[in-house]
A and B are shown apart, each in its own frame.
Chain A
């Protein structure tokens, strides 16, 4: 239980590493939207864990060689102080590396406990802090030149190049994440390795010892950091300091991955040693500083003046300030842990007490646990869960597609409906305009009819007066003149021209009505049809009489005849019948 509590400070360091340093691997890709965060996080998490478990031992052992933190309380304090230093310096805006903080904290521990510090290892570590960014710069410059030459030579279409870049970003990112896990897991779990449980888990295809289990936990903590917090950092970094072209981003990530890989690969180091070459020190290196070195390397090739003394000064300050702060902090906190909480921060004094104890330690048995069946069980559960997820996902996609289709159909129907309403409105408006025009025309006709009627009564009046004057005289000449006047008035009273105009207009407007009359009542005379049309205009008997040049009495008779011809029953209104026709 105390062991699990103790490693929480390491897990916190892991979380912090995942949150910040994953951006060095996938920041450009995610920030430039070449890769979605989900994909980047999944790839980074998987490969960080693999790198940590498979290749994490080299750099972790170097930290143990520096000074073996052999008690859990001591390891906890070292890790906590390193994490707190990182937090403190980040808060102050100072460049900081987790590795440097851890090294400083270990030295602080060894000074407090009086343990031996291997100064040869310390020198190697310090040298690698400088060598890391420099190597990054060299690798980036060379890779950049190679890529530029390759791109110019192959002349790949920009659309195809986009696909190649995406693939490369994924592959290089995976390698970068692997190297990050392999190299930086030492910062997260390195101090706990001497206190790792003596157990080996056999999974059939591979085995995991105590240290690797620690690395697995640390890797998972890094993955959690990636998933929970790195998206914001990736976007900030991608749009800020790592706002590179995708091609340059590949080079930067690749050179960083190579440097971290070099400083963590035991096999490569052994190979060099076997070939008679000096071994590569397996040391945790700051990925951020290697990235800065790589960006500067590209800047050198491009001829830009991108080497800012402030950046270099910041890194150098980090090399000095971070270990000092972490060391001092550890020294003071260990004092409290040992004297206030009464916890053992080191075991080496008790080991030196008697040789029997040493024998106890060396003959500790290693627990061997077969994990084949549990692993198979977990695998099966995972497969089933995966299958269920796949089916659920397919179903969800289908539902989404159906919803999309439904939405589109709804939109289509709404559009159709609006269109139909618009059409109906237009037709209604047209009808209204036509009705207005018809009403105006009808009014004009009524006015014309009234005018004819007025003129006729006026002329009749004059005619009556002239006839009266005729009765009063016997003068032949006057009689002839009056007779001529009477004849002229009588001729004018026929209103033939006006009537023609009127009838023409009526027929024009009521063409359809007359056609219908002809179709339904084929035997009607022209006079009857004209009467029906005038009735449709809602003219009074008097007005109709004037227009037809007959007396109102004759009009009444004509109306009666028309009723008979149209077979209208008694009690039924003639005007209504005609208007409804």
Chain B
């Protein structure tokens, strides 16, 4: 239908954008795993893919901004929607930056911490994976968004807990590691942890947006 031509295009773009962010989280998880288990080629491939996804997300975000403004769609909700896109885009930007930090700084991670780091990355990525469906839901059923957001908060809390435990273990129970390496490990724990924080920020925004839209 002609009237819905632009609307359908915008919906398609929003779906693509959300898919890209979702994929970014998955690739980040893969990348950390491959780094920890020394799969150099696969890690490099993950880095390349994540960079492409990040660029794609930026392009999609800009397109959506243009459409929302030029077609003056939803003047009352536009500001909130653009903020949501901005915060979602920040997640994939952060994921790319963090994976690049692994590539550039090549942190030394003792083998006994591998399992913890894998778990930490999975928890952080789960927060992202949970916030994406919640974002999709806001566009169709704002009333049910809250039901999905509790997962994000749970994963974020678990990530924080595990990150604390890793840092404690590194500084208290691993005297064989140099202090510089301990600092390095702390930073990388923090890098992974920030992803779940970014997801939580999106969840906060979504919950306010849902209240605004509940008629």
Which positions in A face B, CB cutoff 8 Å?
32-34, 144, 147-148, 151-152, 155-160, 162-163, 167, 245-248
Contact = CB atoms under 8 A, between A and B. Distances in A.
Given A33-B72, A152-B141, A245-B76, A160 B7 contact: yes
Interface in B104-151: 138-141, 143
Contact of A32 (B11, B73, B75, B215): B75
**Residue among A148, A152, A163 with max Cβ neighbours from chain B (10 Å):** A163
A152 B74 contact: no
B179 interface: no
Given A34-B76, A162-B73, A248-B215, 14 more contacts: A32-B76, A152-B141, A155-B140, A156-B140, A157-B7, A157-B11, A158-B74, A158-B140, A159-B7, A159-B11, A159-B14, A159-B139, A160-B7, A247-B215
Interface residues on B, range: 20 to 34
Given A152-B143, A247-B215, A33 B75 contact: yes
Contact of A157 (B75, B76, B81, B140): B140
A147 B3 CA distance: 22
A324 to B, nearest CB: 41
B3 A246 contact: no
Interface string B1-21: 001100110110010000000
A159 B73 contact: yes
Interface string B37-80: 00000000000000000000000000000000000111111000
Contacts of A157: 7, 11, 139-140
- Which 8 pairs of residues, A with B, have the shortest CB-CB distance? A33-B75, A155-B140, A159-B7, A162-B74, A158-B139, A159-B10, A160-B7, A247-B215
Interface of B: 3-4, 7-8, 10-11, 14, 72-77, 81, 138-141, 143, 213, 215
B215 A160 contact: no
Contacts of B143: 152
B3 A163 contact: yes
Contact of A155 (B14, B74, B141, B213): B141
Given A159-B11, A159-B139, A160-B4, A148 B215 contact: yes
A361 B141 CA distance: 68
Contacts of B77: 158
B7 A163 contact: yes
A550 B72 CA distance: 89
A246 B74 CA distance: 9
A151 B215 contact: yes
A160 B141 contact: no
Contacts of A33: 72, 75
**Residue among B8, B11, B76 with max Cβ neighbours from chain A (10 Å):** B76
Contacts of A32: 75-76
B7 A162 contact: yes
Contacts of B7: 157, 159-160, 162-163
Contacts of A248: 215
A533 B8 CA distance: 76
B101 to A, nearest CB: 34
A31 to B, nearest CB: 10
B135 to A, nearest CB: 11
A388 B43 CA distance: 66
A55 B3 CA distance: 32
Contacts of A155: 140-141
B66 to A, nearest CB: 14
B4 A163 contact: yes
16 contacts: A32-B76, A33-B72, A34-B75, A157-B11, A157-B139, A157-B140, A158-B74, A158-B77, A158-B138, A158-B139, A159-B74, A159-B139, A160-B4, A162-B74, A163-B4, A248-B215
A245 B215 contact: yes
B144 to A, nearest CB: 9
Contacts of A147: 215
B14 to A, nearest CB: 7
A33 B77 CA distance: 12
A355 B139 CA distance: 76
A246 B14 contact: no
Given A157-B11, A162-B7, A246 B76 contact: yes
A151 B141 CA distance: 9
B182 to A, nearest CB: 47
Nearest to B141: A155
**Residue among A32, A162, A246 with max Cβ neighbours from chain B (10 Å):** A162
